[in-house]
A = this chain, B = another copy of it.
Amino acid sequence: MAKTLGLRKNPLKDEREQAFKQAALKLFSTKGYHKTTMAEVALEAGFGKGTLYWYWKSKEELYFALVEESHNEFVDLVRRAAEMEGTALEKLAWLGKETVELHYRERDYTKLSWKMRAEELETFSPEYVERMHENNAEIKRELQRIIEQGIEEGTLPPADPYYLACMLLGLVEGMEIQWLEDPEAFDLRKAMEMVLSLGAKVAGQRWSD
């Protein structure tokens, strides 16, 4: 047929890869890593198991390809927030809203990423664990930058910025848990709005002792 781009050998390759990823995401995010078999993923994608192994060399690799994709999206968001124009509070408000939208848009990814977090990290290959760790550190670093700005501006309390970053991240992650566990009872959008409005109210505070 049409051999669109000269260089590409199999124009279907990307498409296939996408199909596998989608199938894997669906299964991993609902059934978890251990209870999902490679045969299932292949079947869900509509191919044979051997084909799946032609694209990824192991179950672990397939899994982390997905996890990393999801993480990168969030890292990107935080980075953009840190680099945009505006006050720290504006940056955080923007980041908060975008984060929520990201999660709503890609709920399966959020679920997956979340599962892997508590999954037995100790048992995955050190190489992958290392990458996850670095990823996480980067997020905290960017967050810290924003917070330092906020402290200078006087809208955030003059406390250890690293700890504030961890706490902020913790708050959001904690809310994500609540949301994932019971999306009906806990609306993440509403929660984020509450946090931001409380934050804004409190920002006028005289922080100095």
Q: Chain A residues in contact with chain B, CB under 8 A?
A: 30-35, 114-115, 117-120, 122-123, 136, 157, 159-160, 162-164, 166-167, 169-178, 181, 185-186, 190-191, 194-195, 198, 201-202, 205, 207
Q: Of B33, B119, B170, which contacts A171 at CB under 8 A?
A: B170
**B173–A177 contact, CB under 8 A?**
yes
Whole-angstrom distance between the alpha carbons of A28 and B91 in the complex?
A: 41
**B166–A186 contact, CB under 8 A?**
yes
Question: Can you give 15 contacting A-B residue pairs, CB < 8 Å?
Answer: A31-B123, A32-B119, A114-B118, A115-B118, A117-B177, A136-B181, A157-B198, A159-B198, A163-B186, A163-B191, A166-B178, A167-B194, A169-B174, A173-B174, A201-B207
Residues of chain B with a CB closer than 8 A to A177's CB = 117-118, 170, 173-174
**B123–A157 contact, CB under 8 A?**
no
5 new A-B contacts at CB < 8 Å, known A115-B119, A163-B191? A34-B34, A35-B123, A136-B181, A170-B178, A173-B174
Residues of chain B with a CB closer than 8 A to A167's CB = 171, 174-175, 178, 191, 194-195
Q: Of B118, B120, B163, B173, which contacts A190 at CB under 8 A?
A: B163
**B117–A118 contact, CB under 8 A?**
yes
